[in-house]
Amino acid sequence: MRLLLAIAFRHLMARKRQSVVSLAGIVLGVAFFMAISSLMQGSEADFIRRLIDNSPHITITDEYRTNKRQPVFEAYPNAAIQLRNISPMPENRGIRGYIQTLQLLKTYPGVRASPSLSGQGILTFAGRNIGLTVTGMIPADIQGVTTIGKYMQKGKVLDLETDSNGILIGETLSRKYGVDMGDSLPITSGTGTTRSFKVVGIFRTGRGGYDERNAFVTLPRAQALLGQPNRINSIIIKLDDAYQARTLASQIETAIGYKAESWQEQSEDMLSTLVIRNIIMYTVVSAVLLVAAFGIYNVISTVVLEKQRDIAILKSMGFEAHEIQTIFVSQGVMLGFAGAAAGVPLGVALMTGLMQVKMKVPGTREPITMPLSWEWNIFAIAIAFAVTASILAALLPARKASKIEPVEILRGGF
Amino acid sequence: MVKQPPLLRTEKLTRTLTGEIPITLVKQADVAIHAGEFVAIVGPSGSGKSSLLYLLGLLDKPTSGDLFFDGMNMSTATEHERARTRLAKMGFVFQFHFLLPEFSALENVLLPMQQLGEVPFEQGKARAIELLTRLGLKEQMHKRPHQLSGGQSQRVAIARALINKPQMLLADEPTGNLDSTSGNTVKQMFRELARTENCALAIVTHDDSFSAQADRTIHIVDGVIQP
Ligand SMILES: Nc1ncnc2c1ncn2[C@@H]1O[C@H](COP(=O)(O)OP(=O)(O)OP(=O)(O)O)[C@@H](O)[C@H]1O
Ligand SMILES: [Mg+2]
């Protein structure tokens, strides 16, 4: 075996320039593969982390996944008369028995839940009518399940507890209409009730529309304003382990009947876009390595063609077909490993370089850096891919070499 | 001479190339070569000398007939056994030396020995150096083939063929490509080495003075051995 490797190595060294060129292909392929997959994994992880941080893990709403069957159909399952145009009984919207539901949720470990009631209200201010989504919640609970606390520019969420008549408004609304802390805002609901709220906090999420059209008050105030006492219409849940959301959501849904949606279900579109993006990007980088593999195929084919006489003499001496094949396959292995050995540091350099890049994205204030992943599997996959591609590229010419019949070459002389 | 079974014996050895028009390269050849014997294979160009040599050297497989070497029926041997036999018991020298250009003269000579792997490296190396020295290549040992003359290269090829102490050396016009002076040296080497190493020689040659030195001559015309 050592002898075969020595022969393989000498062949490559005798063809330095060609070997180096094909090596360069592998080196670049490995480096790009690493940089791209690091970016892909990094941005995906970053995206999912943001998603997990910023959105509820499970949202329970006052809806049913399928409309409830009419009682008449339950009562007469095999009836002969068909009833058409039955409309569901008007139902006061909201989650019924939410206190019990919250009690139930407390029994699951690692679950934080916050009930809320949202509805439309009209703010009359400075001679204008401004539509607002008013959400009533329990300040201490909402802190645990949303990032609203992080976004507060003035005041605190918990200030609502001390001033039960308080309201939190968005920065855009405040700026646009000159509303400031301590101002009193009259809000009218669809039922005609008007309540006056005092601004105790201003938040800024960065999304202009959200910051203009949303306001937060305490749950009892919202229930009073919207005329829905003792009702809520959604429960937001955060979990210690976000990846439990899917199973827990279906457990909750079967337990209480209302629709419970996990974050994965809510973001299904985006998550499947990620998968497609991954497929596209990996196809592209794999193509780079594939092209590099063609380079290797090229060198080894040339070597085999030039070395027909050497192969003939080796075979006449008693080298066997599989040993000849080993010589040329190991050339592929050598190029593959050498390419990976040089490609990994280059890839690391590329990744380090990318980490330094700061970009200013419109709509954000702070420049963002590229999210890169340094998972070990990036390195492993790049190396494995390069070596496998090199071996496969070498295999074809190597098989051809092993099939050379010495007599045919010897008969031909030169 | 004591009667001994021959080192190599063939029975009705025939090699036909299949094709639209089948060509018979060697027809019904009965050959016997004894240990240490020098046999010259002669005949006109295209008569099948090389073809016969390839068959005797296990490089080609006969279409029919049997070949026994060192008591073993090679017609029924596996590819692996044939390769091992070539490596351990035979040596080849061709008209063109076929040295591996990436290896020095010494390394070329060592190649079959390393492949066989029966002799410790240092011991084999000593033998290679001794062989090269006897062939007058002490100074050229570390040169690459492209730095050697045709005659020198051919002598390296002879050393390479002899490194594993073969029982038989097969050569196809070993002096065909050399001028008369280096040709004479090479011819002399063959005879000397065959005698000291007790190695049988089967040499295809056009050179009458060379074949005249042989113990026996096999004359072949149109693939048929002449009586
Ligand atoms: N692959 C082949 N296809 C067709 N004919 C072939 C082939 N190989 C050899 N021959 C023919 O077989 C015959 C014997 O060839 P061989 O090489 O054994 O002759 P030779 O005696 O060695 O000739 P030379 O002295 O010129 O080397 C020749 O007539 C040659 O043309
Ligand atoms: Mg010939």
ipTM: 0.91
Q: Which of A74-88, A101-115, A202-216, B93-107 has the lowest mean pLDDT?
A: A74-88
Which of A118, A217, A222 is closest to A166 using CA atoms?
A217
Q: Is B50 in the pocket of ligand 1 (CB under 6 A)?
A: yes
Residues contacting residue B213 through CB under 8 Å, at least 6 positions apart:
B38, B187, B191
SS3 A185: strand
Which residues of chain B have a CB within 8 Å of the CB of A319? 83, 87, 115
Of all ligands present, the nearest one to the C-alpha of B43 is: 1
**Residue B140 predicted with pLDDT over 80:** yes
Q: Which residues contact A198 (CB under 8 A, 6 or more apart)?
A: A163, A165, A166, A167, A182, A183, A184, A185
Rounded to an integer, the average pLDDT of A257-263 is: 87
Closest ligand 1 atom, residue A411 Cα: 17
pLDDT over 50 (residue B36): yes
Q: Token match 């020298």: residue? A: B93
The predicted-structure confidence for A120-148, as pLDDT tens digits, reads as follows 999 988 788 889 999 999 998 888 888 88
Rounded to two decimals, the pTM is 0.75
In chain A, what are the domain boundaries? 2-52+270-410, 59-66+92-265
Give the number of other CB atoms < 10 A from CB of residue A10: 16
Higher per-residue confidence, A299 vs A121: A121
pLDDT (0 to 100) of residue A52: 85
How far is the C-alpha of B56 from the C-alpha of B29, rounded, in Å? 11
pLDDT at A89 over 70: no
Q: For residue B41, how far is its CA from the centre of ligand 1 (angstroms)?
A: 14
Residue A83 has pLDDT above 80, yes or no: no
> Percentages helix, strand, coil for chain B, rounded to the nearest 5?
35, 25, 40
Q: Report CA(B26)–ligand 1 centroid distance (Å).
A: 10
Q: In the structure encoding, which two tokens stand for residue B51, read together? A: 């073809």
Instruction: Say how far apart CA B163 and CA A305 lie, in whole Å.
Output: 28
Residues with Cβ < 8 Å from A205, sequence gap 6 or more? A151, A170, A211
Interface residue A10 vs chain B (CB under 8 A): yes
Any CB–CB contact under 8 A between A313 and chain B? yes
Tokens of A400: 């051809």
> What Rg value do the Cα atoms of chain B yield, rounded?
17
Residues with CB under 5 A from ligand 2 (ion): B 50
**B146-164, pLDDT tens digit by residue?**
999 888 998 899 999 999 9
Identity of the amino acid at A91? E
Segment B110-113 long-range contacts (CB within 8 Å, at least 24 positions apart):
B110/B163, B111/A3, B111/A314, B111/A317, B111/B160, B112/A317, B112/A318, B112/B87, B112/B160, B112/B163, B112/B164, B113/B163, B113/B164
Decide: helix, strand or coil at residue B176. coil
Q: What is the mean pLDDT of chain A?
A: 86
* Class of the CATH domain delimited by B8-100+165-225: alpha beta
DSSP character at residue B175: T
Q: Give the tens place of pLDDT for each residue, A301-347.
A: 988 888 888 899 999 999 999 999 999 999 999 999 999 999 999 99
Ligand 2 centre and the CA of B195: distance in Å? Answer: 25
Q: Quick check: B69 contacting A, CB < 8 Å? A: no
Mean pLDDT calculated for residue range A376-383: 89
A-B C-beta contacts closer than 8 Å: 64
Domain boundaries, chain B: 8-100+165-225
A330 vs A7: CA distance, rounded Å: 10
SS3 A307: coil
Eight-class DSSP state of B145: G
Query: Would the CB of B25 count as within 6 Å of ligand 1?
Result: yes
Give the range among A9-18, B31-40, B191-200 with minimum mean pLDDT: B191-200
Beta carbons of A317 and B115 less than 8 Å apart: yes
Decide if pLDDT at A66 tops 50: yes
**DSSP single-letter state for residue B60:** S
Average pLDDT over residues A100-114: 87
- β-strand partners of A117: A136
pLDDT of res. A414 = 44
Q: What's the gap between Cα B160 and its chain centre?
A: 11
